[in-house]
Amino acid sequence: MEILTPAEMAQADRNADRAGVATWQLMQAAGEAVTSEALKRFPGAARIAVLCGPGNNGGDGYVAAACLLAVSGLPVEVWRSGEPRADSDAAKAAGQWVGAVGELEEFSPQPDMLVIDALYGAGLARELEGNDRRALERVRAAGSQVLAVDLPSGLSGLSGAVLGYALQADCTVTFFRPKPGHLLYPGRSLCGELVVADIGIPAGVLSDIGSRLWGNAPELWLHALPRPSALAHKYQRGHVAVLSGKMSATGAARLSAEAAARAGAGAVTVLSPPDALAALATHLTATMLHRFDTPDDVLTFVEQRKVQSLVCGPGFGTGEKQMAVISALLQQVETPLVLDADAITLLAKERETFLKARTGEKPTLVLTPHEGEFARLFPDLAEGETLSKVERARTAAKRAMAVVIYKGADTVIAAPDGRAVINTNGTVWLATAGSGDVLAGLVAALLAQGMPPFEAACAAVWVHAEAGRREGFGMTAEDLPQAARKVLAKLINR
Ligand SMILES: NC(=O)C1=CN([C@@H]2O[C@H](COP(=O)(O)OP(=O)(O)OC[C@H]3O[C@@H](n4cnc5c(N)ncnc54)[C@H](OP(=O)(O)O)[C@@H]3O)[C@@H](O)[C@H]2O)[C@@H](O)CC1
Ligand SMILES: [K+]
């Protein structure tokens, strides 16, 4: 599903108006959607308080208050912060509310109350403070249940950051399409359960908006998922090479290799420095093993054995020798390359050179930084709070001419052409040692089988998370490749 920024949503609104669906009509539908979710989700509420701001978010609140009064059988109160602008839809909605309107500073929330937060939504323009903030703080202290209209007030729809203060909602009802702030942290957790209500905006309004952001779902990349032909031999099903680090750190490469094999690569080779060969040999069965000493050894292997993708970084090390290998892989071959962990640390040391190394028309590089690695690689982008995680990932992707998997609870995948995806099926179980190594192997397997890098990255992130969900409590990274195989097998048979 497309994700719209607040500005794109406003455009959708204008387009709908042009297509004959008036904004007043949308506000009615929005208020009704809020009403129906309130009734469905909060059957235990003894009374309802609707907090209305001066804009259209408040307008939705007035409409909901009127509907709730008509159908809920409960006492409904309205408390306002500021008066709607004359002749606005919000003013019209406020005019139709027949009950009393209290000033927000006098509002006294109760524990048995459902509070409908309709202070600010897409139009939040500055930090929430003063009476607004104090009222929301009282709601939190009272422990009332909270339904947020469009967004918890104070939450940026663009970035998911809190401007000043925002309430933890039990449920957030937004309209037409989710916004980045619903899916990026901390916004994602503040929204509670997210409901995306259809308010009658025709999908056709999206055609000239050109949104480039989606929630991650198989529909985005299923068509590109590799399906082996009956005639393919093992190397035609993709040959992945994984570079191992020294003897005491071979587990990470093995996890990547295992994941690559389980994700359908026909052949997987671990390239090992001389001292790690013995340790690896005792652990590998179907995975091949090949010794390398110098960068040239790696390049020769890649060329002669028709390697279709490489993983470098997990347990790799950050010394001079490793730096020379990364440099050769970036500058002397165009083979699709997944750089993770230590490779990102090395990349950061020679940022200026390395980020210019692969600048062909199509990306052949996939970077998988988590928060700390991202900050090392793109310190200027990581600083401050002005850019959202989506904007950071997009700019980084463009700069490095790479697909960037910016990892975290709200992993963002971005391509240099501006496409970006927010992953939404992540799970706490993935925060375990070696989980990232598995992800790198999954990406490499899909790349080696010919999947385009952006789609491969999105698919790998989704499959990885789904595998984590499947395994759940007590899972280790060693369980993930098998679980990923099952997730992929199901997808391929769809
Ligand atoms: N788009 C659609 O299709 C549909 C949209 N709909 C609804 O419209 C909502 C967007 O409405 P909106 O644009 O009027 O903005 P909204 O969030 O009400 O705030 C603007 C007002 O708040 C003020 N203000 C801002 N920040 C403030 C602060 N920190 N502290 C104090 N004041 C602050 C700001 O003041 P100003 O900056 O102008 O001085 C202005 O007066 C959207 O969230 C959804 O609920 C639905 O009806 C269905 C269809
Ligand atoms: K709100």
178 and 242 housed in the same domain: no
Domain end, chosen from 145, 175, 209, is at: 209
Locus of tokens 């992800």: 439
Predicted local distance difference test score (pLDDT) of residue 385: 76
3-state secondary structure of 228: coil
Instruction: Give the closest residue (by CA) to ligand 1 atom 44.
Output: 57
132 labelled as ligand-binding? no
Q: Which of 5, 51, 57, 206 to mutate to test the pocket of ligand 1 (most atoms within 8 A of CB)?
A: 57
In this prediction, residue 347 carries a pLDDT of: 94
Strand order in the sheet with 412-414: 213-215, 420-422, 412-414, 403-406, 365-367, 337-339, 309-312, 239-243, 267-272, 288-291
Are both 52 and 112 inside the same structural domain?
A: yes
Please give the tally of structural domains in the chain: 2
Which segments of the chain have a pLDDT < 70?
none
Quote the pLDDT of residue 235: 73
Query: Tokens representing 433?
Result: 């040692």
Same domain (yes/no): 267, 181: no
29 within domain boundaries: yes
In tens, the pLDDT along 277-313 reads 999 999 989 999 999 999 999 999 999 999 999 999 9
Atom of ligand 1 lying closest to residue 151 CA: 43
Same domain, 12 and 160: yes
The reply to whether 58 sits in an annotated binding site is yes
Q: Would 173 be classed as within a structural domain?
A: yes
Residue 286 burial by Cβ neighbours in a 10 Å radius (0-12, 13-18, 19+): exposed
The ipTM is 0.98
Task: Go through the chain and tell me how many residues it has.
Answer: 494
Q: Supply the pLDDT for residue 208.
A: 86
Is residue 1 situated within a structural domain? no
pLDDT of residue 359: 82
Domain for residue 319, yes or no?
A: yes
Q: Which domain holds residue 190?
A: 6-209
Query: Domain check: are 68 and 118 in the same one?
Result: yes
> Ligand 1 site: residues with CB under 6 angstroms?
9-10, 12-13, 26-27, 30, 53-60, 120-128, 132, 149-150, 175, 199
Q: How far is the CA of 417 from the centre of ligand 1 (A)?
A: 31
Answer yes or no: do 170 and 312 share one domain.
no
Does residue 169 sit in the same domain as residue 226? no
Do 151 and 279 lie in one domain? The reply is no
Q: Is there a domain that residue 133 lies in?
A: yes
In this prediction, residue 116 carries a pLDDT of 98
Query: Whose C-alpha lies nearest to ligand 1, atom 46?
Result: 27
CATH number at residue 403: 3.40.1190.20
Distance CA 421, CA 369 (A): 15
Which of 182, 209, 236 is where one domain is finished? 209
Q: Based on the fold, state whether residues 203 and 228 are members of the same structural domain.
A: no
What φ, ψ does residue 403 adopt, rounded to 5°? -80, 130
CB 192 within 8 A of CB 168: yes
CB proximity list for 109: less than 8 A, separation 6 or greater: 49, 115, 135, 138, 139, 141, 142, 144
